[in-house]
Amino acid sequence: MILKPETPPFQAKFIASIVGQELPETMARLPELAIGGRSNVGKSSLLNALCQRKELARVSKTPGRTRALNYFLVEKEDFYLVDLPGYGYAKASKEEQSQWRLVVDQYLASGEDVRGIVVLVDGVVGPSQLDIEFVEWLQDSGRKFLIAITKVDKGTQSERQKVRNLVNQLSNGAPVIATSSASGFGIEKLREAIRKLVMGVG
Ligand code: GTP
Ligand code: MG
């Protein structure tokens, strides 16, 4: 694959895993771009694809293990990619689910440096009830967001179209980008959309 010079991968490195606290004093305040979605939607895989790294974010075999806010510094471009904890893990208790809400609500409500959120929707499963609630919450909060459909290398053309239609309805005009971390489809487009959000022009 030949990369156009204007869409190089993010050069990211893991900085910190933060649970229910403010950024440590030692961490620079920089624009933040959060990536959220249900457990197993393909967040870690997408992060790795955006950065063209195999194991920057651990691709979990046991879903729902990510409980903290994971900060990745994008070097040279000077912003953080923030991997939010996944919601809707089937085996999580009610308590864990509401813990998730608390962590993410608090982060998105107070984070002054948050420039935007990429919401991932599973391209095979389609939007879940929790995805719908998350997007509605974002719309109410006035935060900028876009929706990335994941795993579009899977399924048939008509299955993909069905998911696409549901996501278009849900997005209510926000950008929708179809991606596959496995094939690389849509990754450059998503990277560009993220850069625009970070710069405040998206
Ligand atoms: P948690 O951190 O556990 O909540 O999951 P996650 O959202 O980070 O998902 P992860 O990247 O760990 O991927 C979950 C599963 O989906 C793994 O088995 C991946 O291999 C698979 N997967 C992720 N992205 C793709 C994709 O683009 N195509 C296909 N076919 N599978 C994918
Ligand atoms: Mg993960």
Kindly report, residue by residue over 94-148, the tens digit of the pLDDT: 777 777 777 888 888 888 899 999 999 999 999 999 999 999 999 998 899 999 9
DSSP letter (8 states) at residue 84: P
Which of 7-11, 47-51, 185-189 is predicted least confidently? Answer: 7-11
State the pLDDT at residue 176: 98
Say if CB 126 and CB 162 are below 8 A apart: yes
- Position 60 pLDDT exceeds 60: no
- Position 66 pLDDT exceeds 70: no
- Position 4 pLDDT exceeds 70: no
Q: How many CA atoms lie within 13 A of 109 on its CB side?
A: 8
- Quote the tokens at residue 16: 């910190």
Which is more confident, 175 or 53? 175
Ligand nearest to the CA of 37: 1
pLDDT above 70 covers a percentage of the chain that reads 90
Ligand nearest to the CA of 45: 1
Atom of ligand 1 at shortest range from CA of 86: 4
Q: Give the chain's mean pLDDT.
A: 88
State the pLDDT at residue 78: 97
Which is more confident, 102 or 60? 102
Ligand 1 within 6 A of CB of 114: no
Say if CB 85 and CB 104 are below 8 A apart: yes
Q: Give which of 69, 36, 33 is closest to 198, Cα–Cα.
A: 33
Q: Give which of 62, 84, 65, 72 is closest to 10, Cα–Cα.
A: 72
Ligand 1 within 6 A of CB of 59: yes
State the pLDDT at residue 115: 96
